[in-house]
Amino acid sequence: MKNKITLKDGKPDPRSREGRIALAGMVMKLFDLWELPVKDQLAFLGLSEGSRKALARYRKGEPLANHRDLLDRAGNLLSIHRSLRILYPHNREIVYKWMTTPNGDFNGHSPADIVSEEGFLGLLRVKGYLDYERER
């Protein structure tokens, strides 16, 4: 049977409805693994407090909205998770707690605090930090 998800470089194509459904599922699962409160989930996706219904729709299997900012955020979140899995291949507890654990390299703030407070730039800051750590 042919795969229904449109693939781009072996990954779901975020421009397709099927790809955005897959991304929504992956991001919601990631939020659960990271045990993020709803306010942080909204902030991570660049959504306002009034967008709780959109978050609930994504949890029910609807596709992420076809907005560049939202799709870029989703991609960066998955990249952060991939980096954590590479950095800590034998310790899932660290992989899942790292985002919410205070970190000296972020002046005692958790990476989740950085993303929530700084928005997209904070997301890029955390991703860049992990990219740097992977290269060391």
Structure tokens, 63: 């596709």
Residue 63 lies in a domain: yes
Measured CA to CA in angstroms, residue 133 lies from 39, 59, 84 at distances of 28, 32, 10
In a domain, 4, yes or no: no
**8 has pLDDT over 60:** no
Lowest-pLDDT range of 8-17, 79-88, 121-130: 8-17
pLDDT, the chain, mean: 92
In a domain, 3, yes or no: no
Residue-range definition of the domain harbouring residue 19: 11-135
Please say if the pLDDT value at position 122 is more than 80: yes
Overall domain count for the chain: 1
Q: Please state, for a pLDDT cut of 70, what percent of the chain lies above it.
A: 91
Domain assignment present for 5: no
In contact, 81 and 27? CB cutoff 8 Å: no
